[in-house]
Amino acid sequence: MRLRRPCRHGPCRLQFLLLLLMLGGLLLMVAMRHPPPHPQHLPPAQVMEHSPEAGYRLDFGESQEWVLEDDQEYSPLEDLPPFISLREDQLLVVVPHPRARRNQSQGRRGGSYRLIQQPSRRLDEEAPERDWGAEEDDYRDVSEEEELSPLRLEQALSARIPLQRALPEVRHPLCLQQRPGDSLPTASVILCFHDEAWSTLLRTVHSVLDTAPRAFLKEIILVDDLSEQGQLKSALSEYVARLEGVKLLRSNKRLGAVRARMLGATRATGDVLVFMDSHCECHPGWLEPLLSRIAGDRSRVVSPVIDVIDWKTFRYEPSTDLQRGVLDWKLDFHWEPLPERERKGLRSPTSPIRSPVVPGGVVAIDRHYFQNTGAYDPLMSLQGAENLELSLKAWLCGGSVEILPCSRVGHLYRSQDTPSTLDQEAALQNKVRLAETWLGSFKDTFYRHSPEAFSLSKAEQPDCTERQQLQRRLGCRTFHWFLAHIYPELYPSERRPRFSGKLHNTGLGFCADCRADRELLGCAVVLAPCSDSRWQQHLEHTGRKEIHFGGMQHLCFDVQQEQVILQNCTKEGPAIHQQHWDFQGNGMLVHIISGKCMEAIVQENNKDLYLRPCDGKASQLWQFDQVNTVDER
């Protein structure tokens, strides 16, 4: 070999080796004294020098910001078991970027973290200290300043409320007597956000830091799902850099809440993952009950009681009754007062509440259990129904789901605006995935209640094979078991649609429809050419004798000055009321309270529906597409 040639004798070789060793050592020392410079691609906030006065609690771990790059390999943390259904190519590549360790002698403060400096542009610095909620005046002041949209109004109002505020005590007195053990698992709180308002986002972060005991809070991981608002860029990086234990992960693709949460989870190191919306405020003592239940059984998926933060006033409005999370046949989530049967089974008002499903806003789950049971469905888009999928998967595959009354977190319920079309479509797609994966033969019941989902499933034919394989691999039970054991109320017989589908008028050969473009409430029911693709034509005549407007579960056939219109379905009321229709064997639809019949009347270009004395003429005869006689359970 070339290197050996000048030296042919043994001692000479030895000298050469020694020389090499010394040289190596020297190089190593030089390298350690001069670490490589910061990579050039970091945003300015990351290479900024921090003021020496900065104080940090170092026993709480390092503050970090991670950047994501497209061209590098993603490697999961070593202690994590392999993912079962996480499609790594769907997530972004993560490059951990530990910040330089800060001066350890500075700012050690026992007991709590310290906020060093708040960016001066924020309104809340001038805000007077208040306990909670905004005053009437705040609302007026803000709205008088300029014409603001509801969202801007909400943001401006939120900015006037301190980032740190104490919430009123709303827990049951018995909760205050509970003492959590010392050996609870640790939590990683994952907050993902897309263009969240500065103040609501940071109030969430501060409230977690202020309420979660340090011993149990491993970290907060913020996942920026490609926000565009300027303040969420370098100003947020700077702000977060000053908070110990808070990490910021930025995505350079819009992942949606589901996948952004999963991305956060891949970087988490705590024993338990707590997924939380980026506009929450935690009540003292919220975390310990969650951790303690999971410590007792790692397959429990648990949620706090979610209280309301009113978007108009930012007041914290606690729920007073014991509630559980349920789903309906449109696969929408609802809160429901705990039924008597379940209430009786509780040992105390602080006992965990067995819940068919958890809400979407805050949920805690053991990290390994989450990953080993297939996390969230990675093919779900943006957001919606992922909480139902997580819950059903837990119940059906050996776990359980609970709401814990002593754990309370407030969630900002946004203005009543209907969600954007994009969000609605995403939620519908996710529901179809949920139905195709977990509902088995009951998916038809879902499709009957949601004809728009049916059309979507036919048009897009989503591929759920990976999820179905997961289900088989985990040996999960069927949805029938869920209905029989966990939520038998889901399909009470009185609500079972007896007749459904399009409602044909025998005389005119057209179908009942509502032609309003936007506002369906109050819409006059008319006849229009029958069409399978119009969800507005899908109706259900239920065992309660109501005619539900298929696309909108809350709308029912009602009568105003003898004309048939859509109104909100009456929840409770007299035994017989305005919205009751008897579908008689001869095809007549009798409005029970008036005894008159639904008749199609042609006037000018319209074919409206009116009540007329029953005489059995063809324009008073009706037919539904389907007669449902099968017992669904």
Q: Which residue of 65, 277, 386, 513 would you call a contact of ligand UDP, by CB under 6 A?
A: 277
Spell out the residues 6+ positions from residue 5 whose beta carbon is closer than 8 angstroms to its own: none
The residue (of 152 and 343) whose beta carbon lies closer to ligand UDP is 152
Residue 405 binding result from ligand UDP, Mn ion, none, given CB thresholds of 5 to 8 Å by partner type: none
3-state secondary structure at position 201 = helix
Burial bucket for residue 314 (CB in 10 Å: 0-12, 13-18, 19+)? buried
378 binds ligand UDP (CB under 6 A): no
154 binds ligand UDP (CB under 6 A): no
The residue (of 277 and 386) whose beta carbon lies closer to Mn ion is 277
The residue (of 196 and 436) whose beta carbon lies closer to ligand UDP is 196
Q: How far is the CB of 145 from ligand UDP (least distance, A)?
A: 26
65 binds Mn ion (CB under 5 A): no
Binding mask 209-228 for ligand UDP (x = CB under 6 A): ----------------x---
Only one residue has tokens 């025998």, namely: 506
H-helix or E-strand containing 565?
Answer: strand 563-568
192 binds ligand UDP (CB under 6 A): yes
Residue type, 334: H
Spatial CA neighbour of 433 closest among 457, 405, 403, 409: 457
307 binds ligand UDP (CB under 6 A): no
The residue (of 196 and 281) whose beta carbon lies closer to ligand UDP is 196
555 binds ligand UDP (CB under 6 A): no
The residue (of 408 and 443) whose beta carbon lies closer to ligand UDP is 408
Contact window for ligand UDP (CB under 6 A) among 19-27, 48-56, 130-138, 249-257: 249-257
Residue 225 binding result from Mn ion, ligand UDP, none, given CB thresholds of 5 to 8 Å by partner type: ligand UDP
Residue 256 binding result from Mn ion, ligand UDP, none, given CB thresholds of 5 to 8 Å by partner type: ligand UDP
H-helix or E-strand containing 371?
Answer: helix 367-372
Q: Which residue is nearest to Mn ion (CB)?
A: 277
307 binds Mn ion (CB under 5 A): no
Any bridge partners for residue 72, and if so which? Answer: none
CA distances from 418 to 331, 414, 429 (A): 17, 10, 17
Q: How far apart are CA 633 and CA 628, in angstroms?
A: 13
382 binds ligand UDP (CB under 6 A): yes
- Name the packing angle between helices 386-396 and 421-438 (round to 10°): 10
Q: How far is the CB of 144 from ligand UDP (least distance, A)?
A: 28
Q: Which residues of 449-470 are buried (b: 16+ CB within 10 A; e: fewer)?
A: bbbbbbbbbeeeebebebbeeb
Residue 352 binding result from ligand UDP, Mn ion, none, given CB thresholds of 5 to 8 Å by partner type: none
Q: Where are any strands of DSSP class E within 295-414?
A: 300-310, 316-317, 323-327, 333-337, 353-354, 362-366, 400-413
Residue 196 binding result from Mn ion, ligand UDP, none, given CB thresholds of 5 to 8 Å by partner type: ligand UDP
Q: Which residue of 138, 219, 224, 277 would you call a contact of Mn ion, by CB under 5 A?
A: 277
Any bridge partners for residue 334, and if so which? Answer: 326
Q: Are 442 and 479 in contact (CB under 8 A)?
A: yes
Q: How far is the CB of 364 from Mn ion (least distance, A)?
A: 16
The residue (of 158 and 445) whose beta carbon lies closer to ligand UDP is 158
Q: Are strands 217-224 and 187-193 parallel, antiparallel or unpaired?
A: parallel
Q: Which residue of 122, 194, 250, 504 would you call a contact of ligand UDP, by CB under 6 A?
A: 194
Binding mask 566-605 for ligand UDP (x = CB under 6 A): ----------------------------------------
Q: What are phi and psi of 174, to 5 degrees?
A: -65, -25
Spatial CA neighbour of 205 closest among 360, 63, 103: 63
Q: Which two tokens stand for residue 29?
A: 């020392």
Contact window for ligand UDP (CB under 6 A) among 1-9, 228-236, 251-259, 445-453: 251-259
Binding to ligand UDP (CB under 6 A): which residues in 401-420? 414
The residue (of 256 and 405) whose beta carbon lies closer to ligand UDP is 256
Q: Are 353 and 324 in contact (CB under 8 A)?
A: yes
Contact window for ligand UDP (CB under 6 A) among 105-113, 176-184, 191-199, 205-213: 191-199
Contact window for ligand UDP (CB under 6 A) among 165-173, 250-258, 314-322, 347-355: 250-258
Q: How far is the CB of 257 from ligand UDP (least distance, A)?
A: 3
Q: How far is the CB of 498 from ligand UDP (least distance, A)?
A: 33
Q: How far apart are CA 395 and CA 355, in angstroms?
A: 10
479 binds ligand UDP (CB under 6 A): no
Binding to ligand UDP (CB under 6 A): which residues in 444-473? none
3-state helix/strand/coil string of 112-167 = CCCCCCCCCCCHHHCCCCCCCCCCHHHHHHHHHHCCCCHHHHHHHHHHCCCCCCCC
Q: How far apart are CA 461 and CA 421, in angstroms?
A: 20
Q: How far is the CB of 226 from ligand UDP (least distance, A)?
A: 8
3-state secondary structure at position 378 = coil
Q: How far apart are CA 412 and CA 410, in angstroms?
A: 7
Q: Which two tokens stand for residue 81?
A: 């078991």
Q: How far apart are CA 424 and CA 532, in angstroms?
A: 21
Binding to ligand UDP (CB under 6 A): which residues in 345-364? 360-361
257 binds ligand UDP (CB under 6 A): yes
Q: How far is the CB of 155 from ligand UDP (least distance, A)?
A: 13
Q: Which residue of 323, 383, 537, 542 would you call a contact of ligand UDP, by CB under 6 A?
A: 383
The residue (of 191 and 564) whose beta carbon lies closer to Mn ion is 191
Residues in the site for Mn ion, rule: CB under 5 A?
Answer: 277
Q: Which residues make up the interface to ligand UDP (CB under 6 A)? A: 192-194, 196, 225, 254, 256-257, 260, 277-278, 360-361, 382-383, 414
